[in-house]
Amino acid sequence: MIETIKQQIKIKLEEYYLTNYNTKIDIIVEEPKNPELGDISVPMFAVVKVLKKPMPEIVAEAIQVICKMDSIQEVMNVGAFINIKILKNKLAQDVLRVALLEGENYGASDIGNGKRVTLDYSAPNIAKSFSVGHLRSTMIGNSIHLILKKCGYDTFSINYLGDWGTQFGKMIVAYKKWGNLEAIQKNPIQELTNLYVRFHEEAKVNPSLDDDAREAFRKMELKDPEYLELWRWIREESLKESAQIYELLGVDFDSYNGEAFYNDKMDSVVEELESKGLLKEDQGAQIVDLGDDVPPALIKRSDGGSLYITRDLAAVFYRKKEYKFDKILYVVGNEQKLHFTQLKRLITKMGYDFADQIEHINFGLYLTNGKKMSTRSGRVVKLYDVLMKAIGLAYDLIHAKNPNLKDKEATAKAVGIAAIVFGDLKNYRGLDAEFDIEQSVKFEGQTGPYLQYTGVRIASILRGKTIEVENMNINVFEKPHYFELIKQISLFKSIIERSANEYAPSILAKYLLGLAQSFNKFYSLEKINTDDEQLRNSNFAVAKATRIILNEGLRLLGIPYVEEM
Ligand code: ARG
């Protein structure tokens, strides 16, 4: 709300100078550090300098303009500054009315204007364990997806499964040597992981296994029916691990077309590169030069094997045609920066003009005690187990706090997920993040459970109560602990828009922490359920608006709702 008034003052003054002096002046509008001076202040130096008139005249004119505006209580002049007090009570009332009226739609925006955004995220390499990097991609991608939807974008989400590649060659070799059909069917994730780990261990002492795996993969690429059948089966079984994680996180996709889907779509791309004279032979392989600043793209291996970039090239053309995106986002780790630079460069070289619609939404590593958390063979950190551990810890905390809670399991699940997801999303995605499960599950500090807990606290205050928004004491809103909170409530929409524009859920996550802190401060200073009817309505409205934002904000981060904990 203050933002809007600041904006209006700026526009009004700039218009005034344009019409009356035929001069374009950039007016600066700020919020004074010392609130005693007012809520908004406008320094007039720049105007004096441009118009070359005495300060008092300039100030007097500007005050005339500002006084005519709505929501202004008082305008004062101190030296070169015009200080403005706004009608806080009215503004606050408007904000609360809107929030309560709009409910879960509060904060919705139309900046997306129906534009189509395709998102590529999660993309685990199946037949390998679901890695921490893929978990980050899943959570960040899911949240960006939800935020963009809230901003009126027409979204389409794709899980570009890594369902083709040498890892399947390894699996097939391992299965043929040591596998047991029944055991796998009974316990697919465990058994397949064991096979994969065993392959890596044995290949260390017996490198010829790697040749066998390459040969097996070659057979797959040559469409050998037996091998394709095995591939299909291993693919299905290993997808169950990802499915478990998606179910837990409540994540779903519009398409699961993975790498294998593009097997028959690469030839035409390679032909096009060829016909445009871009392909070049290099030690038996086919490459495309991309200029001095970017290394060449390897399009076809010397043994004819297909490559990651060629597949992504085929995929992006297919998606452009099928989904007609205005923008395509790839939520993938920092280590693939070069890959996406090459992809864009290739498209431009081929004569297409949509490279700038492609955006690599990069993210950093997850660290535990400063070291990379990894799911490599041998030292397998099973992600599902990590999630389960968080849920277990949440259960213990809930049990200790509220032993009689009805559905402790379901609540623990929601709280455990909040811990993991928020623990990730509060960090700016591009940076490496230190991750500590125990810390993330706590109900206090900068955690997801803290936000859920604040929401639950509000829910319990408001349970069974009615709020009469038209019967509030609006003068209390001028008190700093009210106004600070209401100001934050008013910012929700612009925070969502910023998170969307920067593809950064961390902006929303940090805002929610600030909001919860302001609420808890308010809560410690005010008896919310007071006997004074008008005051009570004011307090309830503030609490309710906070709860609406916490719920909706957490939902946009992919964190489930809790009613009690
Ligand atoms: N499966 C790939 C990996 O784990 C990520 C795929 C990302 N998406 C893409 N279109 N390249 O490295």
pLDDT 10s digits, 115-135: 999 999 999 998 877 888 899
Q: Tell me how far apart the alpha carbons of residues 506 and 422 are, in angstroms, rounded to a whole number.
A: 9
65: nearest Cα among 119, 110, 29, 96 = 29
Residues with CB under 6 A from ligand 1: 120, 123, 125, 160, 162, 312, 330, 332
| Nearest alpha carbon, ligand 1 atom 10 | 312
- In DSSP terms, 41 is beta-bridged to 30, 83
For a mutational test of ligand 1's pocket, the pick from 336, 338, 341, i.e. the residue with the most ligand atoms closer than 8 A to its C-beta, is: 336
Provide the edge-to-edge strand list for the sheet that holds 279-282. Answer: 279-282, 285-288, 297-300
Q: What is the pLDDT of residue 243?
A: 92
| Nearest alpha carbon, ligand 1 atom 6 | 123
- Looking up tokens 């809790």 gives 562
**Contact call for residues 510 and 553 (beta carbons, < 8 A):** no
Q: Tell me how far apart the alpha carbons of residues 453 and 79 are, in angstroms, rounded to a whole number.
A: 48
Distance 332 CA to ligand 1 centre (A): 7
Please state, in angstroms and as integers, the Cα–Cα distance from residue 98 to each residue in 72, 377, 471, 489, 550, following that order.
20, 54, 15, 10, 16
Q: Tell me how far apart the alpha carbons of residues 541 and 272 are, in angstroms, rounded to a whole number.
A: 62
Q: What is the pLDDT of residue 171?
A: 93
- Looking up tokens 């302001």 gives 518
For a mutational test of ligand 1's pocket, the pick from 238, 332, 361, i.e. the residue with the most ligand atoms closer than 8 A to its C-beta, is: 332
Q: Which residues of 9-39 are buried (b: 16+ CB within 10 A; e: fewer)?
A: beeebeebbeeeeeeebebebeeeeeeebbb
Distance 69 CA to ligand 1 centre (A): 54
pLDDT along the chain (565 residues), means of 10: 90 96 95 87 95 95 94 92 93 95 97 97 88 92 98 98 91 94 86 89 94 93 93 90 92 96 94 96 93 94 82 97 98 96 97 97 85 53 82 95 93 96 95 86 93 96 95 95 94 97 98 97 96 97 98 97 91
Q: Which residues of 235-253 are buried (b: 16+ CB within 10 A; e: fewer)?
A: bebbbebbeebbebbebeb
Detail the DSSP E strand segments found in 291-383. Answer: 297-300, 327-333, 358-363, 366-368, 371-372
**Contact call for residues 75 and 82 (beta carbons, < 8 A):** yes
Q: What is the pLDDT of residue 477?
A: 96
**Dihedrals phi, psi of 281, to nearest 5 degrees:** -85, 140
Atom of ligand 1 nearest to the CA of 131: 4
For a mutational test of ligand 1's pocket, the pick from 158, 160, 163, 242, i.e. the residue with the most ligand atoms closer than 8 A to its C-beta, is: 160
Max CA separation in the chain (angstroms)? 92
Sequence letter at residue 407:
D
Q: If you ran DSSP here, which 8-state letter would residue 152 be given?
A: T
Q: What is the pLDDT of residue 378?
A: 40
Distance 518 CA to ligand 1 centre (A): 40
183-230: pLDDT as tens digits: 988 888 788 888 988 999 999 999 999 999 999 999 998 999 999 999
- In DSSP terms, 125 is beta-bridged to 162
Burial of 289 (0-12, 13-18, 19+ CB in 10 A): middle
